[in-house]
Amino acid sequence: MKIRRLMQAALTTCLALFMAAGASAATITYNTNAPGTGFNGGVSNTLNSSSGAIAVLAYLDNGNSTVGVPSNINYGSFTLLCVTCTTQAGGTGAFFNPFTFNLVLTDVTDGAVGTFVGSSTGGQIFSDLSSMEIEWSPLQLGPNTSGAASGSFGTTIFTITGTLIVAPNSGIPPGRTTVEGDVTSTDVPEPATLVLAGGVLLGLGLLRRKSFRRH
């Protein structure tokens, strides 16, 4: 009887964990096309080179996207174009001054808005080389009002990683760099928790089997 009660309690606990995991596997809709997204304070979605060959760094926003939680996601992409740039060996390149980029994220599902602010020291580019990199701050928006300009992200968490701008002849399509990150939730159980729950069930199952054999 003790083993039966112990198993019932363990099964109830594990079931609750798996139900929580299932409930948290919801979907989140988000976008990065809100006003304010752009270079140097959100003025424009394009940035021209400051010297050398004529080059353009352009941002393509991400319209409403719906993903499961947790998921790897993208926040849009940058495209670097320089028609007259040669390879580094050829010696014809372009130079970009330091710049900033505001990436406004709208969490449509939770009704919250936050901004990732990117900064770059600029750099020189050739058709086969780019030294530009964008670092973002903060690296996380949510949960709740953490990093929110308005509203609340609830249990949702958006993170972002540094962005290395690829050369004009790299990437798919050429010159395209995706801004990457992920979305998760504080409702999602840690993998270790689920492994522990599975271990408890397995152990109790073996214990019950052994008890039956004694009878």
Token pair 């940058």 is at which residue? 78
Average pLDDT of the residues in 13-41: 72
* CA–CA gap between residue 183 and residue 159 (Å, rounded): 6
Asked if the model's pLDDT at residue 100 lies above 90, the reply is: yes
- pLDDT of 214 reads 53
Asked if the model's pLDDT at residue 211 lies above 70, the reply is: no
Average pLDDT of the residues in 101-108: 98
Residues 155-195 have pLDDT tens digits of 999 999 999 999 999 998 999 999 999 999 999 664 544 44
Which residues in the chain belong to E strands, given as ranges? 27-31, 38, 46-48, 51-52, 56-60, 65-68, 71-81, 94-96, 99-107, 112-120, 123-126, 129-130, 133-137, 140-141, 148-150, 156-160, 163-164, 176-185
Residues 107-120 have pLDDT tens digits of 999 999 999 999 99
The pLDDT-based confidence of 213 (bands split at 50, 70, 90) is low
How is the chain split into domains, by residue range?
1-25+189-215, 27-187
The mean predicted confidence, pLDDT, of the chain is 85
Task: Tell me: cis bond preceding 173? Omega within 30 of 0 counts.
Answer: yes
Asked if the model's pLDDT at residue 131 lies above 70, the reply is: yes
Average pLDDT of the residues in 194-209: 45
* CA–CA gap between residue 48 and residue 152 (Å, rounded): 36
